[in-house]
Amino acid sequence: MAIAQQILFLIALGLAGYFIRKRVVRIRKNIELGKKETVSGSSSERWQNVLLVAFGQRKMFKRFIPAFFHFLIYAGFLIINLEVLEFVIDGVAGTHRIFAPYLGGFYNVLMNIFEFLAVAVLASCIVFLLRRNVLKVARFQSAEMTKWPRMDANLVLTIEIILMLAILTMNATDQILQTRTTHYHPTGLLFFSNIITPALQNINTSTLIFIERFCWWFHILGIFAFTIYVTYSKHLHIFMAFVNTYYAKLQPKGHINNMPVVTHEVKTMLGLPVEPSITPSEPSRFGAKDINDLSRINLMAAYACTECGRCTSECPANLTGKKLSPRKIMMDVRDRMEEVGNSLEKGGPGLNDGKFLLGDYISKEEINACTSCNACVEACPVLINPLEIILELRRYQAMEESSSPQQWNSMFQNVETSFAPWKFPASDRFNWAKTNS
């Protein structure tokens, strides 16, 4: 029987590994649809961002209440998953609580910490479900939060609750079985699961063994299934947030990336010094029309998006009723990547399907509403920069299509001819001073 369970576990572990690897490869190929971008700046500063922003949750605590409960889930995810290591070793080796004999009393301390975090995760998930479905927090009710994004969030929270209940029930039955059979190694008193044991005391031993084994299998298979599911969910930010904070821009938020070929041309026209040895090659397209025109860092950020809506809730354009939602921008980039990636995987046309990010996913009305204020960038808890994508889309609109709003085109023409937004020559720029003197 034990050998059969080991074989079943190895099959489950192998299948989980196969599907996770397949999905990771697909996501990587989707990101590689973008343009390569040179990463500059201090690596120590980038690691500092990883430690403080991704690992330390620093920006989350600008809103303390959700940050507190999120931290409990986050800490629980990191620490409770250490117990998964024991599950995996037990599953492969056919043992039960393999670390218990070696860690002695410290094992009891660890298990009580794990149980405390399991209860904390369970309570936090209930709070978040109430916030989304009873209190209906406004930023979770926006137009882009359609049936799937809402269901995705509720599903993950529900799964986490069930997994925590499974591990507490497993420990409770284990506590009773330790007094009835020698197979179950003594763990010492486990405070939270011990609360459940009175309800299970009158159940016969064989049934308790079934419940304990069922909860063990349910928990570990649930972990495997959850890990696979996460790669299709917005909860991929559990992993991608660390990568995104490392590659996030280090320049001040007001800094806008120039196009080297345009900068070189303008400097040449104005007689400003340029490096003669460096002549940038002209890009195939100015700005971005589709995901392959964006950088790989932009595309990676779309997978790191938590869909928390803090960016949209801070966006002045959105707050005044305009269609722009920075969260939707990131969701649209990710959806377009998935569509193209799935098409390529099936041997389809990929990017040549007649659709484009600009127009079919993101409208010109949306990008033109952006004030470039960087409120969304400041609000993001994992350092995502929706503004970079918006500006690239607007560059394409202005430089390739010449389809910017009429007021903008007039300003562009004035800047080109008069070196100022106003329609008079530079020589008349200070006439107002003469008039008022």
The dihedral sign for the CA sequence 44, 50, 55, 60:
positive
As a three-state string, the secondary structure of 93-130 is: HCCCCCCHHHHCHHHHHHHHHHHHHHHHHHHHHHHHHH
- Rounded Cα gap, residues 160 and 64, in angstroms: 22
What confidence tens digit (pLDDT) does each residue in 124-150 have?
Answer: 999 999 999 999 999 999 999 999 999
Alpha helices in 134-183 (DSSP H): 147-177
Tokens for 398, please give them. 């202005």
Residue with the two structure tokens 């696979």:
228
Instruction: Walk along the chain (437 residues) and give the pLDDT tens digit of each residue.
Output: 578 889 999 999 999 999 999 999 999 999 999 999 888 889 999 999 999 999 999 999 999 999 999 999 999 988 887 888 999 999 999 898 999 988 889 999 999 999 999 999 999 999 999 999 999 999 999 999 999 999 999 999 999 999 999 999 999 999 999 988 888 888 999 999 999 999 999 999 999 999 999 999 999 999 999 999 999 999 999 999 999 999 999 999 888 888 887 787 777 777 788 776 666 676 778 899 999 999 999 999 999 999 999 999 999 999 999 999 999 999 999 999 999 999 999 999 999 999 999 999 999 999 999 999 999 999 999 999 999 999 999 999 998 988 888 888 888 888 888 878 888 877 787 877 776 55
- Rounded Cα gap, residues 273 and 267, in angstroms: 7
- Rounded Cα gap, residues 168 and 118, in angstroms: 8
Residue with the two structure tokens 């649209």:
332
Partners of residue 358 on adjacent β-strands: 362
- Whole-prediction pTM: 0.89
Q: How far is CA 178 from CA 124, 217, 218, 365, 396, in A?
A: 31, 19, 21, 66, 68
What confidence tens digit (pLDDT) does each residue in 174-211 have?
Answer: 999 998 888 888 899 999 999 999 999 999 999 999 99
